[in-house]
Structure 1
């Protein structure tokens, strides 16, 4: 079967058990030795071989016993129950990394995630405001997360931190936040004041579809 053309744009957020900044972004070991948490994505514009994906929210919980590049990861995908059969098929085609070049995001995930938990189809609560550095994901009975601005420990004022990755494979630029997350589904975790990042992203089967300069023009962060 020929590969399918697809593209996704939208709001991205991640929560993990590492300290602010996430050592994985610098190829360092996880703060706690292991890494767990959740990622979420609201598709503002997307399609896969003619199947529209606009407006869908996709979330996944994860666990890695060591740095993520060592593999042996666990993941449980969560998709809104309102997704049609065609949309579900398109989403899982993308998620598997099938027909995608080596080194692109979903292809990497297909290698490092070796334990796949049953997908969940349910309602997903989603709030996301990159300018305020605030976000929330609520999946009843499975996951609760919240992001808020990082505060300076001396002045108690909001501290802005931007991660820039010109050669990134998930995002090029992201706003750092203070994250809290509790996983109560198959993958369990519970942490506060840990790493979170919010970013606008654009992906296709060849990875990030915009370079850093293009991404900055299309999706400028709050000034």
Structure 2
């Protein structure tokens, strides 16, 4: 099957309600039984067909009552209003897993496992992140606020740095892991405190991660 030629890359940050090891990455059940969180991406290089996506920003909120693979979830895309109509349509299709090979990206999987897709929101996205330093600050209009920082061991000793390496991953190959907190009052509500934070430089196309 032929897909629209698309590609996006840029810094990505996310926060979910699980512990620092994020059991989903190890094929285990969520820390608290359910899964909910968000991710944000600033596209520094990208296109969807003839549409240039450089400089656009989008976020995705998600929630499942159990493990992701059990389905019955919900999701909502938020796009920075600075995007043109063509860019908005392109981002919405990419984040909904369209024009993508089956199971090739986490966006495809998320959409397949969601029964409910909330209307896309258009809110200004302010996003700052230092991937290697494991810091982030996100403000999405009046609907979402998130921060990220390095993990600090309870016994002291300063910052703790750890990464997750998945050679065959569908979301990332290597991600920096840290501490994150998020509140959101969009279609999906979030109240996350000192849980799994994830930083990586995303590179995706119709066939999944681009190496």
TM, length-normalised to structure 1: 0.90
Between 96-105 and 59-68, report the one with greater CA deviation: 96-105
Partner of 2:100: 100
Partner of 1:74: 74
Counterparts of 1:5 and 1:61, CA distance in 2: 25
Closer, same or farther: CA 103–125 of 1 in aligned 2, 3 Å? same
- Structure 2 residue 203 is matched with structure 1 residue 202: yes
Say which SS state the counterpart of residue 43 (structure 2) adopts. Answer: strand
Partner of 1:186: 187
Say which SS state the counterpart of residue 107 (structure 1) adopts. Answer: helix
Partner of 2:177: 176
Listed one character per residue, the Cα deviations across residues 187-209 of structure 1 (whole Å, up to 9, x for unaligned) are 11212110011001211000001
Listed one character per residue, the Cα deviations across residues 125-184 of structure 1 (whole Å, up to 9, x for unaligned) are 111111211001111321111000000111241000110001110000011010101111
Say which SS state the counterpart of residue 4 (structure 2) adopts. Answer: coil
Between 139-148 and 90-99, report the one with greater CA deviation: 90-99
Unaligned runs of 5+ in 2: none
Contact in 2 for aligned 1:76/1:119 (Cα 8 Å): yes
Matches within 5 A, 1:126-165: 126-165=127-166
Contact in 1 for aligned 2:60/2:95 (Cα 8 Å): no
Partner of 1:62: 62
Counterparts of 1:39 and 1:94, CA distance in 2: 14
Closer, same or farther: CA 96–140 of 1 in aligned 2, 3 Å? closer
Say which SS state the counterpart of residue 201 (structure 1) adopts. Answer: strand
Tell me by how many angstroms 1:186 deviates. Answer: 1.7
Listed one character per residue, the Cα deviations across residues 68-101 of structure 1 (whole Å, up to 9, x for unaligned) are 1111111111000011011011112222323322
Contact in 2 for aligned 1:37/1:183 (Cα 8 Å): no
Listed one character per residue, the Cα deviations across residues 46-73 of structure 1 (whole Å, up to 9, x for unaligned) are 0011110011111011111001111111
Counterparts of 1:20 and 1:138, CA distance in 2: 23
- Structure 2 residue 35 is matched with structure 1 residue 41: no
